[in-house]
Structure 1
């Protein structure tokens, strides 16, 4: 079945931190009615599911008017075309694909010192592995500095304490192999971050996917 409670969270970010565990995330705290909320963003490659990512500056959301008309807080979305739902394979902006796999950069796994690898090379590898984390931190700080800055986080709303606590699955949610997160597959339910900085008049998008996900999917989001 597709991901549960597909939603977009619009809010004012106030802080962020790295949370390690089975899968390292960057956790952003957002203030909005019904909150505070937690936004959990995948920032490291693990378990062979290497992260692909792209940061798109001077971005235009597919439905800018609909997005900016939303109230602050969590809004449930329908997973269908013609609305605010995102689809990495099907969404377009001004007639062009919203995002393509070719645009994305591989985020290598962060590994311990390998034999025969110089300290300088290891530093380069670590920098590449932390590139997405660094980009998210920079965008977070810019949004906090803008008094009217807003982050729109698309993904799956979750509740850990009896109320809606936050949003995760902020990445592509289709094309997974049937035996590896295949139950999350669906169309018009992909996750992303859209950052609006009114003081600069700019939008920036953060797109995340996994190498194990196919970009050739059927009407159920399963790999073809």
Structure 2
């Protein structure tokens, strides 16, 4: 079945930190009605599925007017074309794909073996996405009207801080590896709007194990 509670969270970011556990995330705290909220962004590989990512500056959202019309806070989305839902395989901007596999960069896993130089190089490369997210977060905080739009799966944390995760491609998984999350028009991403500069920046995350050729159920075709 597809991911649950596909949504977009629009909010004012106030801080961020690295959270380790089963998988390492960068956790952004955002203020918005109904919040505060947490946004959990994958910044390291897990389960052998190495991370692919793209930071697209000068980005144009598929439905910019629709995003800007959203109220601050969590908004449930219909997983269908013609709305705000994102799909890495199907979404287009001005007649071109919103994002493609060749645009993405491999984020290698940290290495525990090899020479000291090799380990340091691998560690630096594996921190590239985290560093980019931190830079964008700080830029958004510095802009008094800056907003982050986080697409993914909304969750309620039983009296604690609610939030959103699955901020990555949510289709094309092998059937035996997160295949239950597959679906179309339910992909996650971060879209950062800085009104003072009139710019958008997009952060797209996927995994090497995911196929970019999917059927109507989001499964590898």
- TM-score, scaled relative to structure 1: 0.96
Runs of at least 5 residues in structure 1 that lack an aligned partner in the other structure: none
Greater than 3 Å deviation, 4+ residue runs: none
Please state if 1:212 is matched with 2:209: yes
Q: Which residue of 2 aligns with 1:98?
A: 98
Q: Which residue of 1 aligns with 2:7?
A: 7
1:188 aligns with 2:174: no
Deviates more, 1:155-164 or 1:1-10: 155-164
Q: Which runs of 5+ in 2 are unaligned?
A: none
Deviations 1:180-201 (A, max 9, x none): 1111000000000000011111
Offset from partner CA, 1:90-134 (integer Å, 9 cap, x none): 00000000000010000000122x23x2x3333222111100000
**Counterpart of 1:136 in 2: which secondary structure?**
helix
Do the aligned residues in 2 keep the contact of 1:158 with 1:167 (CA within 8 Å)? Answer: yes
The 8 Å contact of residues 89 and 100 in structure 1, kept in 2 or not, is answered as: yes
The answer on whether the counterparts of 1:18 and 1:27 sit within 8 Å (CA) in structure 2 is yes
Q: In the aligned structure 2, how far is the partner of 1:77 from the partner of 1:139? A: 25
* In structure 1, C-alpha distance between the alignment counterparts of 2:219 and 2:135, rounded to whole Å: 34
How many pairs align? 221
2: CA distance between counterparts of 1:41 and 1:130?
A: 13
> Within 1, Cα distance between the matches of 2:161 and 2:102?
35
Q: Contact 1:24/1:42 (CA < 8 Å) preserved in 2? A: yes
RMSD over equivalenced CA pairs, Å = 1.1
Partner of residue 107, structure 2: 107
**1:73 equivalent in structure 2:** 73
Inter-partner Cα distance in structure 1 for 2:211 and 2:117: 35
Aligned with 1:180: secondary structure?
coil
Deviations 1:140-161 (A, max 9, x none): 0000000000000000001111
Give the TM-score normalised by structure 2.
0.98
Once the two structures are superposed, residues 34-55 of structure 1 have per-residue CA deviations (whole angstroms, 9 ceiling, x without a partner) of: 0000000000012211000000
- Which residue number in structure 2 is paired with residue 32 of structure 1? 32
Q: Is the 8 A contact 1:158 1:164 kept in 2?
A: no
Q: What CA distance in whole angstroms lies between the structure 2 residues aligned with 1:221 and 1:122? A: 36
Please tell me whether the aligned partners of residues 157 and 164 of structure 1 are also in contact (alpha carbons under 8 angstroms): no
